[in-house]
Structures are given as C-alpha cells and as structure tokens.
Structure 1
Amino acid sequence: MGIYIHVPFCKQACHYCDFHFSTSLKHKSALVNAICKELEIRKNELNLPIQTIYFGGGTPSLLTEKDLKQIFNTINHNFNVIENAEITLEANPDDLSESYLKMLQSTPINRLSIGVQSFFESDLKLMNRAHNSIEAEKSIHLAKKYFNNISIDLIYGIPDQTKDQWIQNLEKVIELDIPHVSSYALTVEPNTALHYFIEKEVIPPVDDDLAKEHFQILIEVLKANGFDHYEFSNFSKPDFSSKNNTAYWTGKNYLGIGPSAHSLIKNKRSWNVANNIKYIKAIQKNILPADEEILDKTDRYNEYIMTRLRTKWGIDLNVIEKEFGSLFKNYAIKLITEKLKTNLLIQSKTNPNIFKIHPEALFLTDGVSAELFMLKLNTQ
C-alpha cells in the first residue's frame, strides 16, 4: 500500500513536460491545505499499513518545512505507516541547498529522487531545465552528506546528444556512486514547447535509432557496474531498488492525492481533476473532484501484462490462470508461442511458466506487451 502526493508547482516549464503543474505559487498554501483535507477524506480507502509515500510533481522540493510537517502530521494522524516506510521526495538540483537538505533530513523523508536529466549544459538548455550542469553535480555531493538512498533521473535520445556524451553521463553516475538511476527516452508530447520547436525546425527531431542506441549503452554500462535492471527504466545497486516503483509495477494498491493524481484501489482506478483551483474549491466543499473507472477482468489482465513485462520478473502463466482463469491463460499461451518464435520473448530457465522480454528486444517492450493484450470482443 502506498500514498502518492502530487505537488503541482514548478519554477519554470521544461520544454518536454506534459505533466500537470503551475509556475505560479500563489495558491500553494491553499493547495497544501487541500492535500491534507483530501488525505483526511480518503483515510479509509486503504485498509493495510502504508509502506511507501512518494512526493512527485511538479517540483516537491518547492515545499517548505512548514508544508512538509503539515502533510506528515495529517498522514500520521489518519494512516498507519510502517516504521521503515520508504518516503521519497522528488527534487530539482537547484533547490538542494545545504540548509534545505538539513531540513529534509529532519523530516521522515529517507529517499531523494533528483531530477538531473543530464550533466551537460547544452542538454539542460535544450530542455529548459531550471538548473545548470554545475548545480547538477553539486546537488549530489551535498545530498550524499545527508541521505544514502539517492536516485537520479537521466534522459537519453536528446537531439544532438552524442554517444560519447551519453557515456560520460553514465560514467558520472559511477564516479558519484549513485545507487539508483531512473532513465527515460526523450519523448515529444503534443502541445509541449518541444513539439512546437521541432515542428518549427528550431530543434532537430527526436531520433528513435539514437534513443535505441543510448538505451543499449545504458543497460551495458550500468549492468557492468553492478546495477540490477529491475524495470524497463529503473536500475539499482543491491538493496536500493525503489519500493514505490516496484509496488506500482507489481500491481499493489496506491492512493493518489492532489490535482491530477491517479489512484488504484482493488479494481477501481480514479484520477483527480488536473486544475489547481477546481481541485481546491471542490475539496473545501468535501467533494472529491475525481473521475473513475471500474477495471473488468480484461482490463486487469492487460494491465498485468503491461506492467510485469516491463520488469525482470516477467509474466507467470500460473498467476494468469489463478487471477483471470483458463481462458486468459490459453489466450496468453497462444500469443506467447508466437513471440517465442520471433525472439521477442524468452522462457525462464528456472520456471517454465514465466516469460520475459528477450534481452535484444527490450527497447520494444511496450509494443510487445500491447500485442499480448486481450481485446474486449474476445471475452464477450
């Protein structure tokens, strides 16, 4: 069981980002109050102890000590949080001053996820990040004085980013002894500045072949340096895998708090309105401003396929039969057999019921997963 808290504020808009956020902090206090009230309203939705708390965004490192204390007091008053819960705060390098890190250390937060994205100035300027390359490295040196559980984000496939630059980014990870890396291909989302600049030929288009090459380098370099590639985008040293990430990819329930936050409770998925003012006004009236959908057996089967194939654990036919029935198991076997022939899937050497993405097809993971989905018409 986990709690995700969306903090929808940023100093400036990154060119590639399509998450919900505001660059105005005008309503931050009201938003924090609303987050706390939503936590109170929804305190009975999770009936097991909380194992992870994750502050995402946006930029959660814009929260003050007062903000964090208010949120943690509310959580502790309304939820049963286990003693060794993993509590993560996403942070931008330019926010991580020594005084701010000291403050964070005094809170229950025990893990930092730092949005470095790149150690090269040219990449950071192209993405319109708020920090520079010096701040990127300095923030990690400072953070390690106060936290040992640190993750950084890196982006690959950036236009004009060379192979050597990407390797240097990864060598910096090794040099700084960072125990966890989340790395994503730069994607062009509609209605973003990046999309506009590429259309106007201000920035070169994203090259899928370059992204694939960078992805293979990412795997090779980090594996050679003791990292476990436990999920498509996530790599960790022993004992440093993200419990929050792992819970999501293994189908655990989580409560999403804040504007645009998503929740999954049993077979119900819900998502809050992606508008700060509408969210605040609704919560003030004790109304949850959320839409929801009930996931039927086909939805849950497809979700299982999608999430588990992204992980090192793969999909298990025994689990499929137990959770969804023989119809789904037989359907999966038929499609898996086809993928084995084309070297898109491999069978586990230790358990014949488990299947994973072939190492040479990892970059195609999402596409392979989609081809194993069951269409609604198959279960009517």
Structure 2
Amino acid sequence: MHLYLHIPFCKQACHYCDFHFSTSLSQKSALVDALCTEIGLQKNYLPNQPLETIYFGGGTPSLLTESELEQLLATIHAQFTVSSTAEITLEANPDDLSAEKLQMLRRYVNRLSIGIQTFDEATLRWMNRAHTATEAEACVGLAREAGLENMSVDLIYGIPNRDSLRWQADLQNVLSLNVPHISAYALTIEPDTAFGRWQKKGKFPPADEALAAEQFEELTKALTEAGYEHYEISNFARPAHYARHNTAYWQRRAYLGIGPSAHSYNGHSRQYNIANNARYIADIQQGKLPATVEELTTADQVNEYLLTGLRTQWGCSLAELNTLLGKDFAQAQEQDLKAMYASGWLINDGDQLWLSQAGKLFADRVAATLFVEE
C-alpha cells in the first residue's frame, strides 16, 4: 500500500503553482502534530498490508526539521507495517539541500524529488523560485556525496517568450547530471496563481501550445537517446528507477493521503481533505476527519483508468475496461475508437490501447473522447 503526506508550507509562492500551501510557517509545528493524529485516525483506511511507498509532498517538505521528520516517521511505523524495501521520497528545493541537511535526510528517506524547474537564472527569478541556478546545479552533487543516489529532478518547458537556446541549455544541463529520474511538465497557467491573474489583466502571454509541443518532442528525443525510458508522459527513468509511488497512482492502487488537500483512493471511493490549514488542524484536534468522500460510479472507474492508463507505457487493457464497464468497451465506444485510430493518436495492439508519439501531445483529449457515461 502507499502513503502520501502533504506538507503545505513554502518559503515563497512560485508564480505558476496552484497547489495548497502557506508561506507562513507559524502553524508548522501544530500541523505536524495534526498529521500524526490523522495517521492514527486513518490507520484502517488501507488494507492491512505493508506500506510499499511513503511520499512527502507539498508545498516544500524539505522545510521540515529533523525532529518533525522523525516524529512523522515514528508515527507511521507505530501505525503501519513498513516494508523493508519501501521507497521513501521527499520533495525538496535546491536551496534547502545543504550538505548538513542532506546528511540528516539520508537517515530518514531514500529518494529525493528535487524541484529544479530550470537552470536559467533569469527564468528562476521570473517564476519567483527561491533557489539560484548555482544551487540547482550543485544540489545533485551534494546529494550524491551524502549517499542519496536515488533522485529525480523536475523541469518545466513551454515557457512563453523564452528562446529555444535556454531550453536546449536546460536539456544539456539535466543530462550532464546523469540523475536516474527526470520529470518534465509543460507550463500551465492556472487562474488562482500570479501568472493566471496577470494573464487575466492582459499582462501575461497566452500559453504557446506549438512551443510546448516542439519542446516536448525535443525533450523526448534527447532523453530517450540518452537511455531514459519514457514510461509516463511527464516522466523518464533509467531502467529500474521508475517512481514507485507515482506509478501506484497511474496503476490505480490504493493509497492514503494525509494532510490538508490530500486525496485518498481505496478502489471504490475517493476522499479529499479540506484545503485550509487552520480548519484542518481544528477538526483533527477534535478527532474529526475533514474529508469529503466520493463514491465512484462505474463510469468514474472506467474514465479514471482511461485518463491515467493512457498516459503510461503500459496503456489500457481492453479486457480490464470490459471488466470495469461490465460489457464490451470496444463495442460500446466503437465510433469514438475509430475516430481516435483515424487521427493517428491511438493504437490498438491486440488487447492494449496505446497512445502514439503524436497522441502523447493530446492524451487528455483522447481519454475524454473515450469517456463513458452512466
């Protein structure tokens, strides 16, 4: 089984981020206590099986102190059986990863997910990132020196009004680091972000889909030629270095999310916690779970499988779709499937549905076209 903990604090707000977080750290200690309490309240949510992955996400989990991290992991071990081979990931910003901090982290986690985003100083400032280009390049070497070889770094592409030479430089820099895992995401402009508000006022350029598509192709070519496996649209890994935790999401395995805004899934329902730190803490202190539960319909389960499965190298099994739907999926969606085959975006390889290379640019559109209704 799989456990996610949301650490909703950041030093400053990145202009593109719409995840739940606060830049005030005044409630951090109280929230860590609440996370520990929620772990106890939710201990029976998952089947009684060992945890295979633990993931500290955010926000910026690298803001946790050693005592806070120790408190959280001690609580997890007290409430769950943790596999001896569990993947324990912590998201981190480069500016937090001093040699001393990395030596501490090594005692508690075995994988880092580092939010580099770009190696270009001007772009980092424009995004309002807290780290510098120098820190972005140095942190990977410091992590290796600390013994944390298993790491992933994040990149962002499709940034408007940014010449292609900067993207090419980002690709060259990330390849020079030779990390085992790379995640790369197209810049999306969400309404409730600084970029979104600027765009509404006409002060920010619209998303450049052609630029994003061109850079995605360059990304895919460069990383696959360098020996990375493109196992999910936004994720590339050396063999045997797939992100086990995120793969669990894409393969619809049960997971428990702890903390404000965290989501959970148990196979037949989803639940999601309130995205408000003060209200989350208050409810947990009263022994209440601040969660909304959504029972999944047949259509929900089929559509979620399409949405997640088509993003991966494993695709979607028609046999599994038949089982979820309770009837022949190919027959029920015959016209839409024909349209997707004709577009060249979708491939039928016997029992499997796969996205073509061109189709990876339109994954959500392909999945939405194939969605079923109750």
Alignment identity in percent? 48
Partner Cα distance (2:320, 2:189) in 1? 36
Cα offset for 1:327? Answer: 4.3
Q: Is the 8 A contact 1:305 1:373 kept in 2?
A: yes
Cα offset for 1:356? Answer: 0.5
Q: Where does residue 314 of structure 1 map in the other structure?
A: 315
1:23 aligns with 2:23: yes
Cα displacement string for residues 240-274 of structure 1 (whole angstroms, at most 9, x for unaligned residues): 11001111001001100000000001211000010
SS of match in other structure, 1:371: helix
Q: Where does residue 373 of structure 1 map in the other structure?
A: 371
- What code does the residue aligned with 1:25 have? L
Q: Is the 8 A contact 1:123 1:158 kept in 2?
A: no
Summarize the alignment of residues 286-305 of structure 1 with structure 2, pairs less than 5 Å apart: 286-305=287-306
Q: Where does residue 238 of structure 2 map in the other structure?
A: 237
* 1:334–1:50 Cα change, 3 Å: farther
Partner Cα distance (2:328, 2:353) in 1? 18
Q: Is the 8 A contact 1:157 1:207 kept in 2?
A: yes
Q: Where does residue 359 of structure 1 map in the other structure?
A: 357
- What code does the residue aligned with 1:330 have? Q
Partner Cα distance (1:199, 1:324) in 2? 41
1:70 aligns with 2:71: yes
Partner Cα distance (2:325, 2:52) in 1? 27
Cα displacement string for residues 135-168 of structure 1 (whole angstroms, at most 9, x for unaligned residues): 1111111112221111001000112222221121
Structure 1 segments, 4+ long, off by >6 Å, are: none
Q: Where does residue 336 of structure 2 map in the other structure?
A: 335
Partner Cα distance (1:79, 1:334) in 2? 47
Partner Cα distance (1:69, 1:2) in 2? 19
1:112 aligns with 2:124: no
Partner Cα distance (2:372, 2:122) in 1? 44
- What code does the residue aligned with 2:234 have? S
Q: Which moved more, 1:272-281 or 1:337-346?
A: 337-346
- What code does the residue aligned with 2:343 have? T
Cα displacement string for residues 165-204 of structure 1 (whole angstroms, at most 9, x for unaligned residues): 1121111111111111111111110121111223344443
Summarize the alignment of residues 165-244 of structure 1 with structure 2, pairs less than 5 Å apart: 165-244=166-245
SS of match in other structure, 1:116: strand
Q: Is the 8 A contact 2:301 2:324 kept in 1?
A: no
Q: Where does residue 52 of structure 1 map in the other structure?
A: 53
Q: Where does residue 284 of structure 1 map in the other structure?
A: 285
Cα offset for 1:205? Answer: 2.8
SS of match in other structure, 2:253: coil
TM-score w.r.t. the length of structure 1 is 0.95
- What code does the residue aligned with 1:60 have? P
Partner Cα distance (2:152, 2:210) in 1? 27
Q: Is the 8 A contact 2:115 2:155 kept in 1?
A: yes
Partner Cα distance (2:230, 2:332) in 1? 29
Q: Where does residue 42 of structure 1 map in the other structure?
A: 42
Q: Where does residue 135 of structure 1 map in the other structure?
A: 135
Q: Where does residue 259 of structure 2 map in the other structure?
A: 258
Q: Is the 8 A contact 1:49 1:81 kept in 2?
A: yes
Q: Which moved more, 1:324-333 or 1:220-229?
A: 324-333
- What code does the residue aligned with 2:28 have? K
Partner Cα distance (2:42, 2:103) in 1? 31
SS of match in other structure, 1:144: helix
SS of match in other structure, 1:138: helix
Q: Is the 8 A contact 1:229 1:235 kept in 2?
A: yes
Partner Cα distance (1:17, 1:150) in 2? 22
Cα offset for 1:102? Answer: 0.3
Summarize the alignment of residues 95-110 of structure 1 with structure 2, pairs less than 5 Å apart: 95-107=96-108, 109-110=109-110
Partner Cα distance (1:334, 1:87) in 2? 44
- What code does the residue aligned with 1:361 have? G
Q: Where does residue 91 of structure 2 map in the other structure?
A: 90
Cα offset for 1:329? Answer: 4.5
Q: Which moved more, 1:200-209 or 1:119-128?
A: 200-209
SS of match in other structure, 2:218: helix
Partner Cα distance (2:13, 2:103) in 1? 27
Partner Cα distance (1:116, 1:256) in 2? 25
The gaps in structure 1 that reach 5 residues or longer are none
Q: Which moved more, 1:153-162 or 1:84-93?
A: 153-162
1:157 aligns with 2:155: no
